[in-house]
Amino acid sequence: TAVREKFRDALAHFGSGVVIVTAIDGDGAPAGMTVGSFTSISLEPPLVGFFAAHTSTTLPRVLHHGDFCVNVLAEEQHQLARGFARSGADKFSGVEWTAGTNGAPRLAGAHAWIDCSIDEHRPIGDHDLIVGAVDALAVPAETEPLLFHRSLFHGLRETR
């Protein structure tokens, strides 16, 4: 409808960083999804959060594992961002990762990692708010960040 289109178009003008939230499912297989709604929430205690659509197949896996990793993406990782936004795809094929402190995948080449355990979660509209208590943080190497604005990925300098 016109309202949906207007909502999508206007909100696409709010740029963001890009993360991939990962977890381990009940069979021990890695799971993950691209997320732009990530934010830091609190310093004392350290809390972060994001919103996951009820239609996401990663959401129940994150809730089941109870822990997750926020992989803040580097500029070079825009293909990963697209790949992890495709529901049902074999997202981890060819992707290098190691298990973080809670077992959730830390993707190689990330701009930063934030290992979290779920502090609280609740439905808001057609999404769930997931609040994570921060257990460990790491900045593996100084890289450039990946940004998202009006359906396109950008770096801090050039656009593509």
Ligand X SMILES: Cc1cc2nc3c(=O)[nH]c(=O)nc-3n(C[C@H](O)[C@H](O)[C@H](O)COP(=O)(O)O)c2cc1C
Binding site for ligand X (CB under 6 A): 18, 33-37, 50-53, 56-58, 81, 85-87, 148
> Is the previous residue joined to 30 through a cis bond, with omega within 30 degrees of 0?
no
Distance, CA of 55 to CA of 76 (rounded, Å): 28
Q: Residue 4 or residue 44: which is nearer to ligand X going by CB?
A: 4
> C-beta of 103: minimal distance to ligand X in Å?
18
Closer residue to ligand X (CB): 51 or 113: 51
How many angstroms from the chain centroid is the CA of residue 66?
15
| DSSP SS3 for 38 | coil
Return the residue matching tokens 């289109």: 5
What minimum distance in Å lies between the beta carbon of 44 and ligand X?
A: 25
Q: For ligand X, which is the closer residue by CB, 44 or 151?
A: 151
Minimal distance in Å, beta carbon 7 to ligand X?
Answer: 15
Which ranges of 12-110 does DSSP label H, i.e. alpha helix? 58-65, 78-83
> In terms of CB distance, is 127 or 133 closer to ligand X?
127
Give whole-number Cα distances, 18 to 100, 145, 153, in Å.
Answer: 19, 8, 9
| Shortest distance, position 71 Cβ to ligand X, whole Å | 13
